[in-house]
Amino acid sequence: MIPRPPKRDSPPVPVSLSKVLLVEGNTPLHFFEALLSELALQDEVEICNFGGVRDLRAAVRTLASSSEFRRVVKSVGVVRDAETNVKTARQSAEDALAAAGLPESVQTSVFILPDNKRPGMIETLCIESVRQDPLFSCVEQFFQCVETQGVDLPGAPQDAKSYAQAFLATRKEVQLYPGIAAYRGYWPWDSPVFEDLKEFLRAL
């Protein structure tokens, strides 16, 4: 069972594993469950969905207040999207961890998607993993076409969500979300774009 985000003023979410990964929403939750399974780490890392970025501080504080957490947890990692500013996203995550009053024995780490360096999000990483797929050129041509028709697209980095949905529309299964697509193997785990993220998870 994967803990869902606690509601405000809700009781602490119990944890049972020594490593906890806090992720931003359902898409990353499913994505990281699939990736941890690929790395054979699914029995070592417990995933908790903290909801939106504004909920992170309360979620960490609630999680850390449980007796189970203080008894078993040795490491906490936070993964969230950079959106438009990597530095701001990292500072927000680090501030939330610092404000939670975690025991000094608990190791903390932060990974800002897509790669700890650039603006973007989890979908940015996903579409980069399939850029060599011949069908991705069709996706790019589609968006070039709609732009010539005067469609007002969101622009980077949010356009990664649109590209991911368009690419997944080429799969046999319909109406796939990017996180569920990770279960189906539609994002190639052997792509080098995932290496930094894999190392983060192994070091958690």
Q: Tell me the pLDDT tens digit for each residue of 169-192.
A: 999 998 899 999 999 999 999 999
Number of domain units in the chain: 2
Going by pLDDT thresholds of 50, 70 and 90, the confidence category of residue 9 is very low
Dist CA 133 CA 70 (whole Å): 46
Q: Which domain holds residue 61?
A: 19-120+190-202
Cα angle 189, 20, 194 (rounded to 5 degrees) comes to 20
Residue at 167 is within a domain: yes
Q: What is the pTM of this model?
A: 0.90
Q: Per the structure block, which two tokens stand in for 36?
A: 């941890």
Dist CA 66 CA 71 (whole Å): 9
Going by pLDDT thresholds of 50, 70 and 90, the confidence category of residue 162 is very high
Residue at 104 is within a domain: yes
**Mean pLDDT, all residues of the chain:** 92
Decide: residue 52, CB within 10 A, 0-12 exposed, 13-18 middle, 19+ buried. exposed
Q: State the average pLDDT over residues 155-161.
A: 91
Q: Per the structure block, which two tokens stand in for 119?
A: 């603006």
Q: Where are the alpha helices (DSSP H) in 1-158?
A: 26-38, 56-64, 67-72, 86-99, 122-129, 134-148
Same domain? 58 vs 93: yes
pLDDT for residue 13: 58
Residue at 42 is within a domain: yes
